[in-house]
Structures are given as structure tokens and as C-alpha cells.
């Protein structure tokens, strides 16, 4: 067996262990009885340990070098697979086992402190353990940077956004930050000139909500033979290869949040279910990056499901599902509900147009903290300043400020920028797809996602990690990420309605 | 760290991987979408491979020898733990990796053939692959026997029934086989002198069935903080350490099968949930053997839940749950339903008194096949002869004969005797418990399992694998397994009602 084929076998095993962890995590959030938590910690810690052993097996590096030497073969998938194998190895092998463990322990402990600190809005309580997490993250970043190149922050970012560079992101985000405050101001003014959304009276029985959600999932092409919809406190898309499981959280008195949550996770799920069959268990067969993943969810949720033609289809369907009556069920009113703009403190509650302000703030702060230019102690003040500059509001306390997200306590440094990179990518891809296929929008008006999903399968899902993120975007849309397209989308939706 | 403590850490990891497999298996049978099967095969095969690597790590044997040399310590739990560690190692290390794989492959293939062969009632179709499975099992048994002592069949049996010896089982089963045919004959005659059970008209809504089942689970002390009840095609008790998950299968038109199924699996679950907290992840903290496990399920299902006082409690509760009316809901009628005797061909449908005939037949046949005294080709004829001798009926085809069970195609040789050993143990333990606590039966009459479960916790569950099976039975009941007690139980229930 060639070195390359030995590598394929090893990476299949690695994928299988990662998949097992994926199912255990899904179970933990949907099915597991509360008292089983200690055992589950033991199981996932052990599997993570075994996974790390498989990923850092010294024999792996020999095989990689051998395969790279022997492998000038013509198959671009195999070449790309080898490139992704090397990348996976770099990320795993760059960090000494003791640092992996110390970093993981710091994050676990800090997460627990964070729950108390957030509840009490007490930043001083969090600070010492957050400083330890940051220190470990900087060490991890520095260790990876020696092999990956770039800065420690970029090395952390690379785990979510392979090849991501701060110079590129800075340039993009600076442009967005340049027009955003004024755009939000004008969007709010415009909104004030329109009627307020009329409340849609509930209750909305959970079973009916689930039926409607599953209807949209089916319409979008979600394959229930290879996936599920369940309920969890925090919605997510998870599971395993060929077993894509999404969740939502229902409220009796309001149905739009859960429904658009389902639609969002369905976008993630379509990406997972559309990965190329032949490469499913190989690194090249996995999703390209977190920004591309987020682009797929936002494409379906923000671009497709919030466009007027689709809302015109959805309004009577929802009315019929819940047996509602009155003008509040009009497409116009529904559209107003799902495109309402409001300056708010909490990222996860933010609307499409204020969301990037939350993200750019966090990106700038985490980059400065990892780079040693901002001390954890100065975070609350820097946060307040940034919120004022980008969004024009000042959080009344740290609970509604720098204590709101789990990412930093949990060790997810370098993740934040992918949200807004994803939103920009989604706008640009939807724009290209509509230009490529004139039938796409009319089909959405009939509740048909077929043309959109066909375009995504062809341009995005089917490529998995064959291309770099930049090449993928350029091959799909004809140009690199272009802030102007994103801006035009926001202006059309929020200034010209 | 001492060698012994290093072993504890290693066995905790081994338990965690086994637990992960347990959750994946539960998921496979309750939640997994059908199309995810290929990925799940990959995951569990990989985890089984990693588990085997952990169990056969050469360093483990060094540590065992070291710990055995250094460990004359006074703690009986630690000593017993070391004994069970050695046993676990023997079972894993005795079989070369290639044989593990060949045996597992033979069983997987034979299981698939078996599904077709059973459907077509075509033994000739199954025969070649069953011969391969038997050959691999004989090799496994022979390999283990060199380390464990005893015959190859006993080495296979030992995986389910540690220390089990055919001389002992033969003596017990020969006694049962000696009185059983006549007892069945007399039970049927006696039954004929009584009124037929009056049908209980349905339908029985599944939700109400579930509520009643959960009520009984709670009454029996099942801890829903550390377990669940779900639905699967084949009911089982599984999950992981501290996360005991049982299943049942409901039918709209009949509720007693599902309900008593829940009660049976609850007996298994109570054993799992009653294992000693401190030793949960260690070999000594696991269930003693399959016969003891089966004794716990049969104690709750056959001894407790089918006794007249409990049925007297259950009848009005069930009637109220389903809103039923009429004499068919009397305790007498319910009791007749759940103690009905009928000679039948299928083991899983057999009643309490004919069940041992099915088991003894299989035990004798599998022992003869592993011992080389019976060829696979001669199995159908030997089966028919055995059925006639033990049960007085001849299967009209192999589907209702030697093709009915998955155990042999699936590689579960040596498992069958534990069913009837479990039934005998259950009768003897219930007899002892009732003598130890005069309040036990009256409490069951009020739907209270407290005294019974307290006795089981003290005499069985809390010991886990501290004692051998023989010592456990003797310490709980004051004597070795005694066929007379089992016989008396059957005679009282089926001849004296």
C-alpha cells in the first residue's frame, strides 16, 4: 500500500472517532439525563485523548513526508487531500500534549466561572481565569505559528478559517465599520417612517411549529434519511458524517425565532449533506471553513428565507398551519417582523444589520488581547468604547457587555470573524446565484429551493475542501470577497423597502 | 503512582470507550436515521479497535504482574478489582488480533445471511457461513482455554458467565430437564380446568402505556436522572455507566407485553443503577455475570410483578390508566393473562415454564457443536429431536426451529445457559428475600418495591463483581443454586393456582 493510501486509512479512523464524539455531543444536548454528565465528561475526554494520539502519531509524519515526495499524481482531489492532511497534522502536532491538556483544563474551569460571573455581572470574578485562558491560547497560537507561519492570532484563526490573514480581514472589516454606523442610523430612520410590525397572536402549538419547520427543511432538500431535527437549549448543527442532526428551541408564544432558527441550521445541514460522497471520511471531503459554513446557513436563512418572494409564499402557509386570522398574517407584516432593526447589547439577539458591529468589535478586541496590546483587565472599558463607536450604545453592565459570550472563556479565540465573513460571503454568493439562474427567485416565491440548492451543490458543497476559501469564493462568484456587494444587499433590504 | 493505580487509570479509559460504544449502540437502535448506518459501522468498528488496543497494550501485562506481586493489601475491593482486571486482560489478550477480526467478520457476514435464511426458512443457505462462524468460535475458545483453563466451550461461556463450568450447568439442567416435561404437562392440564383468560379490549394509546410503564419504573426505584425509557424494535437495557437506558416496543391493541417488557428491563436497569458509586468505572464495579443480570430482570418481572399481591395492585391501576371497564380487568383475569402456559416453537414468545426447555436445548446443542460432537449439518435434526424430548412438539420448519435466534450467527456462543441460570437464581433470591423480610410481599401488594429493592441493593447490586457468582448466590440466599427452589416456585404458580 502506498504511503498515501495508508494515510487515507488513518484519516478514516480519525474521522470515525471525531464522528463518535459528534454523536456523543448531540446526545449530551438533546437526550442525556442530567445525572449522566460526569460519565459523559469521562467518555469525551478519553475519545479526545485517543483522537489526539491518532492525529499526532509519529508514523503519520513519516507517511506524510513519504506521500508528499511520491505524490505528484494528477488527481487534484488526492493532492488537495494530502494538503489538508498536512494541515490537520500541523494543528495537532504543533501543540505539546501538556499544553493541549493545560489549555483544555483552563477553558473548562473558566467556562464554569463564567456562568457565575455572567449571572452576577461580575467581571472581576472572571478576570483571573480568563487571563489564564488567554495565556494558554497565546501559547497555543505561538506554538502553531512556528509551523503555520503568521502571527499567533492567525494561527488560532487558522483552526476555523484555514489560511485566514488579519491584513485581509482588517481591510474588509474596516470598510464595513466605515459605512455601518451611518447605515444603521439611516435604516432606523427609514424604519420609523414605516408602520410598526403588528403582533401575531399565539399561542403556537409546538407540534405545529415542528411540522412547519420540517416542511421547510424538506422543501430545502434536507435528507431525513441521513439526519434529524430535535430540541436543545442552544440550537446547533452537529452529529456525524452522513448523519446530520440539527436542533431548535420552541417557544409557545412566538414561532418566528424557532422557525428561522431551523432554516439557519438547515443551511448548515445542506452543506454537510452535500459533501462529496467519495471523500466523506477524508480531510478534503470536509467543510472548507467556518466562514463558508456560516455563509451556507446565512444564505438560506438571511438571503433566501427573508427575501420578499419567499415570505410571500411563507405567510399564508404559516397562517394555515396555525389557523391564524387577520392582517397580521400578511406577507408585508411577516417581512417587517423578520427584518426589524434594533440597536441591542446582545449579539445573539441582534438583527442582520447590527450583527456585524458586534462581530467586528469582538474581532478587534480578541486580536489585540492575543497580540498583547490589550490587557484582560482593560476589556470592559475597551468593549464599552467599541460599542459606542460601532453601534452608538453603551452596555449598562458587563453581563450585557463583555461577559455575554462563551467563546473566550471556552477557548474559542479566532472564531468570531467567521460570522461576518460568512454574512459577506452569503450575500455575494446569493447575488451570483441569482444572476446565474433567473429562475431562482421565482422558485423561492413558490417555496421551491431547488434552483438555489442546485447552485450551492455545484458551486460550494460539492467542492468541500478541494479549493482554498479564496479560490472557492472566486470560482463561485467570479471575484474575491467584495464588501460592495454585501453593502448593496443591506442597503436594498433596509433602506429601500 | 503504584502499578495498581496506573491500572485503575487505564481501566477507567477502557470503561469510557466501552461506554461511548454503549451510547452509540443505544442511538443506533432508537434515534439514528436509517441512512447513517454505514457511518455508524465505521465509528463502532474504530472504537472497538481502539478498545482492543487499550485492552491488549503490552504494558498492561507488566503492570498486572507488578501489581499482583506488590499487592497483598488488605482491601478486598482492590484485590477483587485486580482479579477482574486480569480476567479482562486474559479475554482480550488470549485472542490474536487477526482472529478477533476474522471472527467478527464471519459473524457480521453470517448475520446478514441469517436474515435471508430465516425469512426463507432455508437452513441450507445458512449452513456454510454458520460453519465458518463455529470454526472461528472454536478457535477463539481454544485460544482462551489455554489461558483460562477448561474446555473451549467453557472459555466462550466465561465471557458471559465468569467461572462457569459445564459440569455444574449439566447437573443443574439435567435436573430441570428431568422434571420439566411432566410439569408442563400437568400445568397445561391444570390450566384446562380453569376459565380461559377473558380478552381485554383495546386500543391502548401509546402515551398511556408509556405513562403506566414510567409509573412502575419510578415505583421500582428507577432513577430518571441517570436513565431513560425509549422505543426500539428489540427491547434492551443499555447506555453507559451512570446513564442506564431501557427500551420497549408498544402495540396499540395489547399492552401487557410492552408493560412487562418495561418491568423486565427495569430489573436490569436497577442492577446497573445500584452498582457501587466508588467503583463505577473499574472492572470490579461492573455487573457480576449475565446470569446474575438476567436474575435481576426476572426477579422484578417474573417473581415480583407476576405475584398475586402485585397483580392485585396493578389491575385497577391499569384499568384506570386506560379507562377500561368490565370483569376482564379483574386481578384474576390479568394474572391468567400473564401466567398463561402454551407449548410454542419460538423462545422469545415462550412463557415462564416452557422457556427453560428452549434454553436447555440450545445449551446442549451449542456445547456439542463447539465440542465437535455435533456437525452444523445435523443441527436441524438434533433440534427437532430435542424439542420433541423436552417440549413434546416438532417444529414444522427451520424458521420456527434452529433458524429463529441471532445468537449463533452473531457469534454469541456460550450465552444461552445464562437465561435459565438467571431464572433459577431469581427464584432462589426472591424466596430468600421474602423470608428475610416479611414486609416484602405486602409492600408489593401496595405497588411498593422498596423492601425488595433494598434487599437487592444490599445482597446483589452493591457487590458488583466483588464476589464470584457462586459466592454471591450463597451469601445472598444461604446456599448454592438449588433446583428444588426453582421447581417449587414453578409448581406453586402453575399447579396450585
Q: Kindly state the helix (H) or strand (E) to which residue B183 belongs, with its residue range.
A: helix B166-192
Beta strands in A147-254 (DSSP E): 227-231, 237-240, 243-248
Contacts of A39 in chain B (CB under 8 A): 16, 19, 240-243, 280
Count CB atoms within 10 A of the CB of residue B488.
13
CA distances from B127 to B116, B118, B119, B122, B401 (A): 12, 12, 15, 9, 14
Q: What is the Cα A487 distance to its own chain's centre? A: 20
Residue B203: asked if its preceding bond is cis (omega within 30°), the reply is: yes
List the one residue out of A328, A356, A371 whose CA is nearest residue A145: A371
Find out whether A187 and A194 touch, Cβ atoms under 8 Å: no
Q: If you average pLDDT over residues B174-203, what whole number do you get?
A: 97
User: What pLDDT is attached to residue B240?
Assistant: 98
- The distance of A10 to chain B (nearest Cα, Å) reads 10
User: What pLDDT is attached to residue B169?
Assistant: 98
First-to-final CA distance of chain A: 62
Report chain A residues touching chain B, CB-CB < 8 A. 12-13, 15-17, 19-20, 23-24, 27, 31-36, 38-40, 42-43, 45-47, 49-50, 223-228, 240-243, 280-281
Instruction: Give the CA diameter of chain B.
Output: 70
Sign of the Cα pseudo-torsion (A72, A73, A79, A83, in order):
negative
Q: Which pLDDT tens digit goes with each residue over A268-322?
A: 999 999 999 999 999 999 999 999 999 999 999 999 999 999 999 999 999 999 9
Q: Which pLDDT tens digit goes with each residue over B213-255?
A: 999 999 999 999 999 999 999 999 999 999 999 999 999 999 9
CA distance A266 to A261: 8
Q: Which pLDDT tens digit goes with each residue over B312-360?
A: 999 999 999 999 999 999 999 999 999 999 999 999 999 999 999 999 9
Q: C-alpha grid cell for residue B71?
A: 499487592
List the one residue out of B349, B310, B307, B315 whose CA is nearest residue B334: B315
Encode B260-314 in three state secondary structure: HHHHHHHHHHHHHHCCCHHHCCCHHHCCCCHHHHHHHHHHHHHHHCCCHHHHHHH
Contacts of B39 in chain A (CB under 8 A): 16, 19, 240-243, 280
- The distance of B26 to chain A (nearest Cα, Å) reads 11
Q: Is A247 helix (H, G, I), strand (E, B) or coil?
A: strand
Q: Kindly state the helix (H) or strand (E) to which residue B116 belongs, with its residue range.
A: helix B97-120
Q: What does the mean pLDDT of chain B come to? A: 96
Confidence band (pLDDT; 50, 70, 90) for A1? confident
Q: Which pLDDT tens digit goes with each residue over B143-179?
A: 999 999 999 999 999 999 999 999 999 999 999 999 9
Sign of the Cα pseudo-torsion (A140, A142, A147, A151, in order):
positive
CA distance A157 to A141: 9
Q: Which pLDDT tens digit goes with each residue over A119-172?
A: 999 999 999 999 999 999 999 999 999 999 999 999 999 999 999 999 999 999
Q: Which pLDDT tens digit goes with each residue over A163-210?
A: 999 999 999 999 999 999 999 999 999 999 999 999 999 999 999 999
Find out whether A384 and A92 touch, Cβ atoms under 8 Å: no
User: What pLDDT is attached to residue B80?
Assistant: 96
User: What pLDDT is attached to residue B438?
Assistant: 97
Q: What is the Cα A465 distance to its own chain's centre? A: 16
User: What pLDDT is attached to residue A70?
Assistant: 85
User: What pLDDT is attached to residue B1?
Assistant: 87
CA distance B264 to B269: 9
Find out whether A359 and A419 touch, Cβ atoms under 8 Å: yes
Q: Which pLDDT tens digit goes with each residue over A36-53?
A: 999 999 999 999 999 999
User: What pLDDT is attached to residue B2?
Assistant: 92
Instruction: Indicate yes or no: CB of A42 within 8 angstroms of CB of B19.
Output: yes
User: What pLDDT is attached to residue A165?
Assistant: 97
CA distance A57 to A14: 11
Q: What does the mean pLDDT of chain A come to? A: 96
Q: Which pLDDT tens digit goes with each residue over A64-98?
A: 999 999 866 779 999 999 999 999 999 999 999 89
Confidence band (pLDDT; 50, 70, 90) for B70? confident
Q: If you average pLDDT over residues A106-110, what whole number do you get?
A: 92
- High-pLDDT (> 90) share of chain A, %: 97
CA distance B458 to B441: 18
Q: Kindly state the helix (H) or strand (E) to which residue B246 belongs, with its residue range.
A: strand B243-248
Find out whether A39 and B241 touch, Cβ atoms under 8 Å: yes
Sign of the Cα pseudo-torsion (B426, B432, B435, B439, in order):
negative
CA distances from B404 to B12, B79, B347 (A): 38, 42, 8
Q: What are phi and psi of A32, to 5 degrees?
A: -65, 130
Beta strands in A203-242 (DSSP E): 227-231, 237-240
Q: Which pLDDT tens digit goes with each residue over B23-47?
A: 999 999 999 999 999 999 999 999 9
Q: Angle CA(B453)–CA(B459)–CA(B464) in degrees, nearest 5?
A: 100
Contacts of B49 in chain A (CB under 8 A): 13
Find the Cα–Cα–Cα–Cα dihedral A14, A19, A24, A28, rounded to 10°.
120
Find out whether B59 and B2 touch, Cβ atoms under 8 Å: no
Find the Cα–Cα–Cα–Cα dihedral B368, B374, B377, B378, rounded to 10°.
-100
CA distances from A334 to A26, A304, A341 (A): 32, 15, 14
Q: C-alpha grid cell for residue A481?
A: 470577497
User: What pLDDT is attached to residue B72?
Assistant: 65
Q: C-alpha grid cell for residue B34?
A: 436509517
Q: If you average pLDDT over residues B370-376, what whole number do you get?
A: 98
Q: What is the ipTM of this complex?
A: 0.93
Closest CB to A20: pick one of B20, B33, B242.
Answer: B20
Task: Give me the catalytic one of B154, B161, B265, B366.
Answer: B265
Q: Is B2 helix (H, G, I), strand (E, B) or coil?
A: coil
User: What pLDDT is attached to residue A72?
Assistant: 65
Q: Which pLDDT tens digit goes with each residue over B294-307?
A: 999 999 999 999 99
Amino acid at each position: 500500500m502506498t504511503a498515501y493510501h495508508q494515510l487515507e486509512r488513518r484519516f478514516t479512523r480519525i474521522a470515525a472517532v471525531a464522528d463518535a464524539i459528534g454523536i456523543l455531543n448531540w446526545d449530551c444536548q438533546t437526550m442525556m439525563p442530567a445525572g449522566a454528565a460526569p460519565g459523559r465528561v469521562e467518555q469525551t475526554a478519553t475519545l479526545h485523548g485517543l483522537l489526539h494520539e491518532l492525529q499526532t502519531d509519529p508514523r503519520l509524519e513519516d507517511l506524510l513526508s513519504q506521500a508528499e515526495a511520491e505524490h505528484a499524481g494528477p488527481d487534484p482531489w488526492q493532492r488537495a487531500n494530502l494538503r489538508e492532511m498536512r494541515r490537520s497534522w500541523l494543528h495537532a502536532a504543533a501543540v505539546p500534549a501538556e499544553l493541549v491538556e493545560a489549555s483544555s483544563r483552563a477553558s473548562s474551569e473558566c467556562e464554569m466561572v463564567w456562568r457565575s460571573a455572567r449571572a452576577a455581572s461580575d467581571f472581576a470574578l472572571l478576570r483571573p481565569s480568563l487571563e489564564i485562558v488567554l495565556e494558554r491560547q497565546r501559547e497555543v497560537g505561538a506554538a502553531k505559528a512556528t509551523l503555520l507561519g503568521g502571527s499567533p492570532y492567525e494561527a488560532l484563526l487558522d483552526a476555523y478559517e484555514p489560511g485566514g490573514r488579519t491584513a485581509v480581514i482588517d481591510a474588509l472589516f474596516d470598510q464595513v465599520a466605515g459605512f455601518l454606523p451611518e447605515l444603521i442610523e439611516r435604516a432606523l430612520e427609514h424604519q420609523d417612517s414605516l408602520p410598526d410590525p403588528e403582533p401575531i397572536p399565539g399561542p403556537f402549538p409546538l407540534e405545529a411549529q415542528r411540522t412547519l419547520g420540517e416542511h421547510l427543511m424538506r422543501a430545502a432538500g434536507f435528507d431525513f434519511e441521513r439526519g434529524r431535527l430535535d430540541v436543545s437549549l442552544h440550537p446547533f448543527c452537529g452529529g456525524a458524517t452522513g448523519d446530520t442532526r440539527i436542533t431548535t428551541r420552541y417557544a409557545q408564544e412566538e414561532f418566528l425565532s424557532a422557525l428561522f432558527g431551523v432554516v439557519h441550521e438547515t443551511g448548515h445541514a445542506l452543506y454537510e449533506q452535500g459533501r462529496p460522497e467519495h471523500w466523506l471520511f477524508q480531510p478534503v471531503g470536509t467543510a472548507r471553513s467556518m466562514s463558508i459554513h456560516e455563509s451556507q446557513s446565512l444564505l438560506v436563512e438571511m438571503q433566501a428565507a427573508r427575501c420578499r418572494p419567499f415570505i410571500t409564499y411563507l405567510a399564508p402557509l404559516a397562517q394555515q398551519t396555525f389557523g391564524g386570522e387577520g392582517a397580521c398574517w400578511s406577507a408585508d407584516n411577516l417581512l417587517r417582523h423578520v427584518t426589524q432593526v434594533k440597536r441591542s447589547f446582545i449579539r445573539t439577539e441582534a438583527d442582520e444589520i447590527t450583527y456585524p458591529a458586534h462581530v467586528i468589535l469582538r474581532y478587534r478586541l480578541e486580536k489585540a488581547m492575543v497580540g498583547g496590546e490589550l490587557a484582560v483587565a482593560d476589556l470592559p472599558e475597551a468593549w464599552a468604547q467599541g460599542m459606542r463607536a460601532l453601534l452608538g450604545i453603551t452596555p449598562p453592565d458587563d453581563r450585557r457587555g463583555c461577559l455575554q459570550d462563551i467563546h473566550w472563556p471556552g477557548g474559542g479565540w479566532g472564531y468570531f470573524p467567521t460570522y461576518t465573513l460568512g454574512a459577506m460571503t452569503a450575500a455575494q454568493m446569493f447575488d451570483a446565484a441569482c444572476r446565474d439562474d433567473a429562475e431562482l427567485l421565482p422558485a423561492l416565491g413558490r417555496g421551491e429551493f431547488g434552483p438555489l440548492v442546485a447552485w450551492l451543490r455545484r458551486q460550494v458543497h460539492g467542492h468541500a475542501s478541494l479549493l482554498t476559501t479564496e479560490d472557492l469564493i472566486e470560482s463561485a462568484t467570479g471575484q474575491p470577497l467584495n464588501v460592495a456587494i454585501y453593502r448593496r444587499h443591506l442597503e436594498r433590504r433596509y433602506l429601500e423597502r
